[in-house]
């Protein structure tokens, strides 16, 4: 049967939508969690719900950042220091501070001009697809941060999803306890590779040797690595690289995304960065090499107006002596939360992973419970909210993510309830 197009009240066919959005699963993971929690709260208005699901921070912005922002607001009140449109790439003084402290201090050959300031690494992980073609083969780990997959679906880079939620056209690299949450490098050629370390959601990290193997693969196959280092500040093991650019050859095959959200509490303030080396190249349809820095610079100059002067001054303060001490204290606070979660859930008899060099604890669901069944059990029995592993991909089924981003009192109370429920 031929489908007759829907028409508006005037009898005219309507503007076409992007049909790729219809391929997306019913709801993005975190809105679905919110829907279930809201429904439970409506039925149980007195339930003392503790949310350890979404990775949002709870502690105040560092004092150094707040002071810098206040001073920047005052700058905006004086004609002599007022700032209008800023550079789309970010102010030079912030990019230079980032280059020096985050990259050059770790031996990375990254120049300030290769750093682009943005309003979120989540945004950039999706926006980066603007400069790549539709016929690339794309590899993601499974489980994976959903944004990587969903933005490729929206851009038309995939087919439909199967019964396991896997999209045609993507190469999935399963990670689990059986392979120590380390993705096997594919035997076939892939063009774009998403890597996230410390990993969201599993909390695992990558050794220097593992990252070198990925860089070697990418260089030999002409691939590009999208390296999400949003949680690098939580690395405590000095042997673990913080940046892909600590790896020899990465300038020729990698783009890195970073954020001020988790180390300095900027989730509500919005500031991040993307590093695109000027030596990095892709190719046109006829095989001509093109540098990606110029394409990304053009994209940002056209579609992005830059992060506010006030916020960038706050981010700059992260690199002051006071800011370094205060952000280190914030990171230590959340890592102590993660340690409490690991210890208490282990005491409850649960198998736990991560939470050492990352703010996430990855829990194996007990007694064969599905990820969503475990979510419902925690919500209804303990009034604790986490994140079902299956929401991060098919290989996440049977696991569950618990976030260390919360107050100490809430973490201690939530884990007490879990121990009380499962240890019994």
CA atoms within 13 A on the CB side of 135: 4
Please give the helix or strand (H or E) that residue 30 lies within, else none: helix 29-43
Q: How far apart are CA 348 and CA 261, in angstroms?
A: 31
Is residue 368 packed enough to be buried (19+ CB in 10 Å), middle (13-18) or exposed (0-12)?
exposed
85 is in an annotated binding site: yes
231 is in an annotated binding site: yes
CA distances 181 to 177, 361, 363, Å, are: 6, 13, 13
Q: How far apart are CA 396 and CA 336, in angstroms?
A: 25
259 is in an annotated binding site: yes
167 is in an annotated binding site: no
122 is in an annotated binding site: yes
- The string of pLDDT tens digits covering residues 100-147 is 999 999 999 999 999 999 999 999 999 999 999 999 999 999 999 999
Q: How far apart are CA 355 and CA 334, in angstroms?
A: 10
Q: Kindly report the number of other CB atoms within 10 A of residue 221's CB atom.
A: 16
CA distances 253 to 137, 212, 219, 225, 291, Å, are: 15, 11, 6, 6, 11
CA distances 125 to 225, 226, 272, 274, Å, are: 12, 8, 11, 9
Q: How far apart are CA 240 and CA 232, in angstroms?
A: 10
305 is in an annotated binding site: yes
Least Cα distance to 214 among 252, 178, 176 occurs for: 252
pLDDT reported for residue 34: 87
CA distances 124 to 117, 179, 196, 304, 413, Å, are: 10, 30, 14, 11, 36
200 is in an annotated binding site: yes
145 is in an annotated binding site: yes
Residue 178, both tokens: 């059986």
Please identify every stretch of the chain with a pLDDT value under 70, giving residue numbers as ranges: 1-2, 26-28, 424
- DSSP code at position 84: -
Q: How far apart are CA 395 and CA 388, in angstroms?
A: 11
Residue 114, both tokens: 């290769």
Is residue 299 packed enough to be buried (19+ CB in 10 Å), middle (13-18) or exposed (0-12)?
middle
Q: Which residues contact 306 (CB under 8 A, 6 or more apart)?
A: 85, 86, 87, 88, 89, 90, 117
28 is in an annotated binding site: yes
270 is in an annotated binding site: yes
371 is in an annotated binding site: no
Q: Which residues contact 242 (CB under 8 A, 6 or more apart)?
A: 102, 106, 229, 232, 235
- The string of pLDDT tens digits covering residues 264-304 is 999 999 999 999 999 999 999 999 999 999 999 999 999 99
- DSSP code at position 78: S
Least Cα distance to 37 among 395, 378, 424 occurs for: 378
- Cβ atoms of 148 and 194 within 8 Å: the answer is yes
pTM here is 0.96
Residue 251, both tokens: 């300038």
């Amino acid at each position: 049967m031929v489908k007759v197009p829907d028409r508006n009240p005037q009898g005219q066919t309507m503007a076409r939508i992007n049909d790729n959005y219809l391929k997306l699963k019913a709801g993005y993971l975190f809105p679905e969690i919110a829907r279930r929690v809201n429904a439970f709260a409506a039925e149980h208005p007195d339930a003392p719900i503790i949310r350890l699901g979404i990775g949002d921070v709870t502690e105040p912005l560092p004092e150094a950042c707040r002071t810098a922002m206040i001073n920047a607001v005052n700058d905006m009140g004086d004609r002599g220091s007022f700032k209008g449109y800023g550079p789309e790439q970010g102010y030079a003084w912030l990019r230079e501070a980032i280059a020096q402290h985050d990259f050059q201090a770790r031996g990375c050959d990254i120049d300030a001009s290769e750093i682009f300031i943005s309003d979120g690494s989540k945004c950039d992980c999706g926006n980066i697809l603007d400069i790549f073609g539709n016929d690339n083969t794309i590899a993601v780990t499974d489980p994976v941060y959903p944004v990587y997959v969903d933005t490729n679906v929206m851009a038309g880079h995939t087919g439909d999803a199967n019964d396991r939620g896997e999209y045609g056209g993507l190469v999935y690299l399963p990670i689990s306890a059986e392979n120590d949450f380390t993705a096997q490098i594919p035997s076939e050629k892939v063009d774009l590779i998403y890597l996230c370390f410390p990993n969201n959601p599993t909390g695992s990290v990558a050794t220097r040797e593992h990252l070198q193997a990925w860089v070697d693969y990418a260089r030999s196959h002409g691939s590009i690595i999208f390296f999400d280092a949003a949680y690098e500040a939580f690395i405590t093991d000095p042997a673990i690289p913080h940046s892909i650019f600590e790896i020899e050859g990465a300038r020729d095959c990698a783009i890195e995304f970073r954020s001020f959200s988790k180390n300095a509490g900027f989730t509500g303030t919005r500031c991040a960065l993307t590093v695109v080396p000027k030596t990095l190249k892709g190719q046109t349809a006829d095989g001509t090499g093109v540098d990606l820095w110029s394409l990304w610079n053009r994209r940002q100059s056209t579609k992005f107006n830059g992060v506010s002067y006030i916020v960038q001054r706050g981010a700059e303060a992260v690199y002051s002596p006071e800011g370094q001490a205060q952000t280190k204290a914030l990171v230590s606070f959340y890592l102590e939360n993660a340690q409490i979660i690991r210890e208490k859930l282990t005491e409850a008899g649960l198998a736990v992973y991560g939470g050492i060099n990352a703010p996430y604890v990855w829990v194996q669901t007990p007694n064969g419970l599905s990820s969503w069944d475990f979510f419902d059990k925690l919500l209804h029995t303990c009034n604790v909210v986490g994140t079902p592993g299956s929401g991060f991909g098919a290989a996440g089924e049977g696991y569950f993510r618990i976030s260390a981003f919360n107050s100490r009192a809430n973490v201690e109370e939530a884990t007490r309830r879990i121990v009380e429920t499962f240890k019994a």
